[in-house]
């Protein structure tokens, strides 16, 4: 019975991981831009939810659109007025820029919210369904479904709309996309905005389950990195698969092996995937090409 519980825990965690990684994946896949400030954007989303929740008592799940909109705006502006200026240059320039942006966000949140750890406890926290000896907590289930829904919406946006086609066209070949009338830099700004919005909304979800502090962004960027490499760059289903694999592996490792090794197991998995299938489980080769 314990193993069923572990499997469910793994799946629920995996959904959240997928949602936290998807924005990172899209930005990387479309622009070949590694957004080192991704984790800090997640934390910023969590603080937006925290502030609204403690001021008005609004349910954390209902703040998702607000943190999404706020982060979209931030991401759009950052890409339009900062990153677009260096995106044509070497990859190091964008790395340095997003690293600086990360420092800026971390210190800004430190200034605003101090380094104290925060968390949100809604009235239904800790309650859940009990099926035999298996427990499925409401908050985790809610987070899982919201994470999947957000990821699906993004997937529909990418595959069924004109904007999505423009984004994909730009990621395949930006010169060709420019020739057929796509405003490449505008598409870049929107893509970064979408990635940031996904990070912010994931942050809102994380605020319900975890504690957060301005300096914790780095660990989320790290997880996103692993998930994206596992699942495949720029691929929405890839992020879901990568997230689920990581979540399930971590949970089984913590029960079957000594729990202290669970991070080691995830990274061994990462290395194995890189050796056996470098483009990721669902990745297509051309996504990552420069």
Q: Which residues of the chain form contacts with another protein (CB under 8 A)?
A: 1-2, 5-6, 9-10, 12-13, 116-121, 125-126, 128, 130, 133, 135, 137, 139-140, 209-211, 213, 216, 219, 223, 247, 250-252, 254-255, 258-263
Taking the complex as a whole, the smallest distance from the CB of residue 190 to another protein amounts, in Å, to: 30
Of 23 and 137, the one with the shorter C-beta distance to another protein is 137
Of 53 and 79, the one with the shorter C-beta distance to another protein is 53
Taking the complex as a whole, the smallest distance from the CB of residue 135 to another protein amounts, in Å, to: 5
Taking the complex as a whole, the smallest distance from the CB of residue 186 to another protein amounts, in Å, to: 36
CB 235 within 8 A of CB 130: no
- Name residues whose C-beta falls within 8 Å of residue 236's C-beta, 6 or more positions apart in sequence: 22, 25, 26, 151, 154, 155, 158
Of 69 and 222, the one with the shorter C-beta distance to another protein is 222
CB 262 within 8 A of CB 246: no
Of 126 and 278, the one with the shorter C-beta distance to another protein is 126
Taking the complex as a whole, the smallest distance from the CB of residue 124 to another protein amounts, in Å, to: 11
The token duo for 196 is 């940031």
b/e per residue 255-270 (b: at least 16 CB within 10 A)? eeeeeeebeebbeebb
Of 81 and 129, the one with the shorter C-beta distance to another protein is 129
Of 90 and 133, the one with the shorter C-beta distance to another protein is 133
Taking the complex as a whole, the smallest distance from the CB of residue 127 to another protein amounts, in Å, to: 8
Of 168 and 210, the one with the shorter C-beta distance to another protein is 210
Of 73 and 215, the one with the shorter C-beta distance to another protein is 215
Taking the complex as a whole, the smallest distance from the CB of residue 144 to another protein amounts, in Å, to: 12
b/e per residue 185-220 (b: at least 16 CB within 10 A)? bebbbbbbbbbbbbbbbbbbbbbbbeebbbbbbeeb
Residue 80 CA, distance from chain mean position: 21
Taking the complex as a whole, the smallest distance from the CB of residue 247 to another protein amounts, in Å, to: 8
b/e per residue 30-68 (b: at least 16 CB within 10 A)? bbbbbbbbbbbbbbbbbbbbbebbeeeeebbbebbebbb
Taking the complex as a whole, the smallest distance from the CB of residue 206 to another protein amounts, in Å, to: 9
CB 230 within 8 A of CB 269: yes
Each as own residue / partner, the long-range contacts of residues 94-100 (CB below 8 Å, 24 or more positions apart, any chain) are 94/33, 94/34, 95/34, 95/36, 98/33, 98/34, 98/35, 98/36, 98/37, 99/36, 99/37
């Amino acid at each position: 019975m314990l193993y069923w519980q572990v499997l469910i825990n793994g799946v629920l965690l995996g959904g959240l991981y997928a949602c936290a990684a998807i924005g990172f994946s899209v930005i990387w896949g479309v622009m070949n831009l590694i957004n080192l400030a991704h984790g800090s954007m997640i934390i910023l989303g969590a603080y937006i939810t925290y502030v609204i929740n403690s001021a008005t008592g609004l349910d954390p799940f209902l703040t998702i659109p607000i943190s999404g909109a706020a982060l979209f705006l931030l991401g759009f502006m950052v890409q339009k007025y900062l990153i677009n200026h260096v995106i044509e240059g070497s990859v190091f320039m964008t790395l340095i820029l997003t690293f600086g942006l990360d420092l800026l966000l971390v210190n800004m949140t430190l200034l605003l919210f101090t380094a104290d750890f925060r968390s949100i406890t809604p009235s239904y926290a800790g309650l859940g369904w009990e099926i035999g000896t298996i427990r499925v907590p409401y908050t985790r289930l809610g987070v899982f479904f919201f994470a999947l829904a957000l990821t699906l919406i993004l997937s529909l946006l990418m595959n069924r709309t004109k904007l999505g086609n423009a984004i994909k066209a730009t990621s395949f070949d930006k010169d060709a996309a420019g020739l057929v009338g796509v405003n490449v830099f505008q598409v870049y700004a929107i893509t970064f905005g979408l990635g940031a919005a996904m990070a912010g909304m994931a942050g809102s979800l994380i605020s319900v389950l975890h504690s957060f502090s301005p300096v914790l962004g780095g660990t989320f960027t790290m997880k996103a990195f692993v998930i994206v490499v596992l699942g495949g760059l720029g691929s929405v289903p890839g992020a879901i698969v990568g997230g689920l694999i990581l979540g399930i592996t971590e949970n089984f490792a913590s029960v079957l092996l000594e729990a202290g090794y669970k991070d080691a197991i995830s990274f061994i998995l990462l290395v194995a995937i890189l050796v056996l299938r470098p483009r990721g489980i669902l990745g297509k080769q051309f996504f990552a090409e420069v």
